[in-house]
Chain A
């Protein structure tokens, strides 16, 4: 079992630069919680990019008894940037383990802001910064911090941990992962935040000797070139 799940908080929030892998991580994290026998709910707060959604994994998640909350009209004719009212239940009722999948960058994080007072009041949360150091705007710790601060000011909440999801898609190798881990350590020193886990696609996750990585089952794939 990953360290991340030894003492989970009631609410785990995944935010970060867009394209950093937040949705994939949130979906996999929710699955692990459910497999630990916890009553789990996952909420899609992304009202910025309607192309990739938690809902894409609906069957998989519901099969594990996970409740999925998506923008009500997601993937429909009225894909409005509106959040469902049931989200208040997640922060107010406190009756299940919640995973929040936040939209990318500061623009995505504004949507989280309206729940910030409830989350801070309960004070049983982990706010995780998902980072991929192979993304050009977060290619180094300084770039990663810049986006981190933008997100924090947008949602009014500070990050409490880092999830290192450095990858190059299908070309990810051990060197990519090692480089990511080194940069994540630097980011950790720079911000004082701990690294909750380093993730990699299942199959690659066991390839770094001496390291326990968080294995990911990926959502969506496009057709390979060859």
Chain B
């Protein structure tokens, strides 16, 4: 279907997942992501899929583990506090090399926090969150169209690299409605020779496991996994560069913050201030090369975030602190306004920062 429809970000994720071949959804309702579950509840029974509202987030992520081990595309979704509950299961998925999609439509935290949009789970998503040496592929949509497109991409990357992938969205992305062209139904079946599909007495049995009591064995498995991570860091970083050709100041922002930043950039350019934007689409792997490249030309960076400043650390690391990085942010469910960003830009050009 190439016709445009009007969808909520949450619905776009759900429909795109179905079109990517996901027939198993396990979740537990929480604002502001509940529409993902609600949409799945309506659609899955009609297409022979499984929608199951689990008794808890912990149960849901372990159901995801089971279906993934059986070789099928599977997902769960939640919002910040619920994603915290899932961390043990996510670590087990990573430790068992299982592909799956986890969607986090973030809300303000810490604790129970609020229901308004936030980006303060950046550390949790990109630096671990669960225990052990592991990474997730983390994708950050900035429109309802990308909520759909990146859902498909997340399933593909997860299968290709045999690891869990996360969509890191926020309350605005989940709730906003925009026109979207839905992806075509995927007819592709991914071969998963490792999956637990029954030996039929034709092959030796497969084992899906994350328990290795012999440390030499666990170390070698971790080293092997990190070789895959290296390949991902080399091949998969993705970002949008906006008006960077002549930029003196580079804003780095993802998701809703990038949309706010674009409005500020328009205002700044009208005043003759040359500002550009790097919008990470993959948060892990972080588009470090693009940031390092920009550092050769720009005087400073501004990290615009809906948190107390988390991605800012990656912006500093990516360019080995060659250029100063300033923070423009709101937290707790508040969104910085284009005027807030403009103020940071003007303070920077006026030498106040």
Which residues from chain A sit less than 8 Å from chain B, CB to CB? 18-19, 49-52, 79, 105, 107, 132, 134-137, 139, 167-171, 222-226
Contacts and interface: CB of A to CB of B under 8 A. Distances in A.
B179 A51 contact: no
B70 to A, nearest CB: 29
B338 A135 contact: no
Contacts of A132: 6
A51 B31 contact: yes
Interface string B262-304: 1100000000000000000000000000000000000000000
A169 B259 contact: no
B179 A225 contact: no
B183 to A, nearest CB: 13
Nearest to A20: B6
Given A18-B35, A167-B6, A169-B6, 12 more contacts: A51-B171, A132-B6, A139-B5, A168-B5, A168-B179, A171-B179, A222-B176, A222-B259, A223-B256, A223-B262, A223-B263, A225-B142
A35 B263 CA distance: 35
Interface stretch (B7-15, B188-196, B205-213, B216-224): B7-15
B7 A171 contact: no
Interface string B145-185: 00000000000000000000000000110011111001000
Which 6 A-B pairs rank lowest in CB-CB distance, beginning with the nearest? Answer: A223-B259, A168-B179, A134-B6, A171-B179, A51-B175, A222-B176
28 contacts: A19-B11, A49-B31, A49-B34, A49-B175, A51-B115, A51-B175, A52-B175, A134-B4, A134-B5, A136-B5, A136-B11, A137-B42, A139-B5, A167-B6, A168-B6, A169-B6, A169-B178, A169-B179, A170-B178, A222-B176, A222-B256, A222-B259, A223-B259, A223-B260, A223-B262, A223-B338, A224-B263, A225-B142
A199 to B, nearest CB: 14
A168 to B, nearest CB: 4
Given A19-B8, A135-B6, A50 B259 contact: no
Contact of B4 (A51, A107, A168, A225): A168
Interface of B: 4-8, 11, 15, 31-32, 34-35, 38, 42, 115, 142-143, 171-172, 175-179, 182, 256, 259-260, 262-263, 338
Contacts of B338: 223
A114 B338 CA distance: 44
A223 to B, nearest CB: 4
Contacts of A52: 175
A110 B276 CA distance: 49
Nearest to B143: A225
Nearest to B142: A225
Contacts of B31: 49-51
Contacts of A169: 6, 177-179
A107 B131 CA distance: 39
B115 A136 contact: no
Contact of A51 (B6, B32, B42, B263): B32
A132 B8 CA distance: 13
Contacts of B142: 225
A20 to B, nearest CB: 9
A149 to B, nearest CB: 14
A182 B338 CA distance: 40
B268 to A, nearest CB: 15
A168 B3 CA distance: 11
Nearest to B32: A51
Contacts of B263: 223-224
B265 to A, nearest CB: 10
B176 A135 contact: no
A160 B35 CA distance: 28
B325 to A, nearest CB: 23
B341 to A, nearest CB: 11
Contacts of A107: 38
Nearest to B43: A137
Nearest to A105: B38
A143 to B, nearest CB: 11
A132 B15 CA distance: 18
A47 to B, nearest CB: 12
A85 B20 CA distance: 47
B342 to A, nearest CB: 13
